[in-house]
Amino acid sequence: MSNGRILHTMIRVGDLDRSIGFYTDVMGMQLLRKNENEQYEYTLAFVGYGDESTGAVIELTYNWGTTEYEHGSAFGHIAIGVDDIYATCDTLRAAGANITREPGPVKGGSTEIAFVEDPDGYKIELIQNKSASAGLGK
């Protein structure tokens, strides 16, 4: 599949408006589209930093009437590259976001990372852009 590309990552959310607000107002993404399926009682919202034709986005899935999910132990996190991890964390904290790991070098390396949680408890890793593609151990 040499012509394949990642389109989106889907996560289930318990309050769609709250999640859209977090990803747009706090994380700075755009609401790209929203689709409601009355027959099967779910709503999808796609958020991202750009159009799906140019990069991967996040699909927020709200199953009507379900307010929380068990995350299990297999899912790790969504990673987002940022230009200034320290200023980004200050902005996120001021907006009420839960920073679960303060920005700084990864253990055993120099790549600067931080973690923030979305309203449903999903982990989002922030990685300093200058070293985002180098690998965490570098």
Same domain, 54 and 82: no
Residue 136 inside a domain? The answer is no
Quickly list DSSP for 123-135.
EEEEEEGGGTTT-
Q: What span, in angstroms and rounded, lies between the C-alpha atoms of 122 and 125?
A: 10
Which residues are known binding-site members? 59, 77, 125
Confidence of residue 5 (pLDDT cuts 50, 70, 90): confident
Residue 109 inside a domain? The answer is yes
Mean pLDDT, range 64-77, rounded to an integer:
94
* Total domains in the fold of the chain: 2
Residue 72 inside a domain? The answer is no
Which residues are known binding-site members for Zn(2+)? 59, 77, 125
What phi, psi does 93 have (nearest 5°)? Answer: -60, -45
Same domain, 58 and 12: yes
Q: What span, in angstroms and rounded, lies between the C-alpha atoms of 108 and 135?
A: 12
For all residues of the chain together, what is the average pLDDT? 93
Same domain, 13 and 45: yes
- Name the DSSP class of 65: T
| Residue 52 lies in domain | 8-63
β-pairing verdict for 57-63 and 8-12: parallel
Q: Among 40, 63, 86, identify where a domain stops.
A: 63
Q: Is the pLDDT of residue 136 over 70?
A: no
Report if pTM > 0.85: yes
Residue 127 inside a domain? The answer is yes
Same domain, 127 and 86: yes
Mean pLDDT, range 13-21, rounded to an integer:
98
21, containing H or E segment: helix 16-21
The domain that contains 17 carries what CATH number?
3.10.180.10
Residues with catalytic annotation?
Answer: 125
Same domain, 91 and 48: no
